[in-house]
Amino acid sequence: MRTSAVEALDSRIVEAFRYAGASACLATRSIASFFRRPFEAAPILEQMESLGLKSLTIVCLTSLFTGMVFCLQTGSAFVRFGAKSYVAKVIAIAITRELGPILVSLIVSGRAAAGIAAEIGSMKVSDQIDAIRVMGASPVKRLVMPRIIALIIMLPLLALIGDVLGIFGGMIVASIELDIKASYFISSSLDSLTVEDVLSGIGKCFFFGLIIAGIGCYQGLTTAGGTRGVGISTTKAVVLSSILILLSDLLLTKTFMLL
Tell me: the pLDDT tens digits for 247-257? Answer: 899 889 888 88
Q: What is the pTM of this model?
A: 0.89
Other beta carbons within 10 angstroms of residue 15's beta carbon come to 10
pLDDT in tens, 125-166: 888 888 888 887 888 888 899 999 999 999 999 999 999 999
Tell me the pLDDT tens digit for each residue of 184-201.
Answer: 899 988 888 888 888 889
Q: How confident is the model at residue 5 (pLDDT cuts 50, 70, 90)?
A: low
Name, in order, each residue with C-beta under 8 angstroms of 61's C-beta and a sequence gap of 6 or more. none
Closest CA to 96 of 246, 207, 198: 198
Contact predicate 95/167, CB 8 Å? yes
- Is the separation of the CB atoms in 151 and 27 below 8 Å? no
Q: What confidence category does residue 48 fall into, taking pLDDT thresholds of 50, 70 and 90?
A: very high
Structural domain boundaries in the chain:
2-258
Buried b (16+ CB within 10 A) or exposed e, 94-115: bbbbbbbbbbbbbbbbbbbbbb
